[in-house]
Homo-oligomer: A and B are copies of this chain.
């Protein structure tokens, strides 16, 4: 176990009807001028928009709106949000939606008081000074952005997808009502679960030894996603199934489960290039990239992959045949993805090898990716090839 710091001051407000507390929570933070960030019409259809707006009005909270956030959220909207905040003396950002909405809000949060181009921050060319505080009402269990310290934004020009992390963008509160996820289509539910599982696996695959406790917590979390994803897809309005997934989704990415260890994150970066170019759902990109990454890197740490197969997927083959155990573990992971109707190969989503070289080069533009195995452009290209 390596030395670590862990600090996550997000207040979780979890359960039925908790969205009704939103204005009270903003008020209790001493804030009164809100930028309301959301996506398309889904929160209007579901009635959530009306609830939020009415609650804000009841508490005499001024608000203006930044809507139209798309999956793989774009930089242009971040710029627009920054402008709105500056023009309206906004003192709090409320994100109502999933990871893309919350990430957009975070981009705005660090950009408002930054003198230069906010994209500098994502390129590692600058650090923000002050961030506007934000809160979240979650409508899909997936990205974990509702309590995390990071955000991912895509620049239209060149389709670059980059992340930025700071404790300052951890939402002050995260309102999580599993009922708000009832209306999600099965495919989106599956993509969300794939993202959650990926966040857990990125943390699980480490060379740091003596991390048994967090290993056990990660395995418990992975098993919960694997158990409940198919159930939630089949029974979309089952509160308990949605609740289990929603709570795992947050803990998977709030920093707790990587305490004392070093995560990998190559697969996320390899996937970002895919969904940057092809606009494939992040969760579907991950279900393709992760098994291929595993096939490419497992020899780096045989024991860890054996443990994954045994502890997460109950692979019960004789321990002397480690390669077989590992293959069976990866096989079971693929079976899980298939069970929730996600692709495991690129050809299933009509992506061919045309941009492999270009994506691999861009993925490693700022150096190799990954900690479990340092992946240079040829390594990344090999992963794309294994995923063909």
Is A213 an interface residue when CB atoms closer than 8 A count as contact?
Answer: yes
Is A370 an interface residue when CB atoms closer than 8 A count as contact?
Answer: no
* Chain A 2-37: CB-based contact to B (< 8 A → 1; otherwise 0): 111111111111111010000000000000000000
Is A220 an interface residue when CB atoms closer than 8 A count as contact?
Answer: yes
**Interchain nearest-CB distance for A156 vs B (Å):** 37
Is A59 an interface residue when CB atoms closer than 8 A count as contact?
Answer: no
Max chain B CB contacts within 10 Å: which of A10, A212, A223, A244?
Answer: A212
Is A315 an interface residue when CB atoms closer than 8 A count as contact?
Answer: no
The interface on chain A, measured as residues whose beta carbon lies within 8 A of the other chain's beta carbons, has a size of 40
**Interchain nearest-CB distance for A146 vs B (Å):** 13
> A1 touching B244 by the CB < 8 A rule?
yes
> B15 touching A248 by the CB < 8 A rule?
no
Is A210 an interface residue when CB atoms closer than 8 A count as contact?
Answer: yes
> B220 touching A216 by the CB < 8 A rule?
yes
Is A267 an interface residue when CB atoms closer than 8 A count as contact?
Answer: no
Is A247 an interface residue when CB atoms closer than 8 A count as contact?
Answer: yes
Q: Which residue of B lies closest to A5 (CB)?
A: B13
Q: Which residue of B lies closest to A2 (CB)?
A: B15
**Interchain nearest-CB distance for A173 vs B (Å):** 9
A79–B244 Cα distance when bound, in Å, is 45
> B244 touching A213 by the CB < 8 A rule?
yes
CB within 8 Å for A224 and B220 given contacts A6-B11, A11-B5, A259-B247: no
When A and B form their complex, which 7 residue pairs have the shortest distance between CB atoms, in order from nearest? Answer: A3-B15, A216-B220, A210-B240, A9-B9, A6-B12, A7-B11, A220-B220
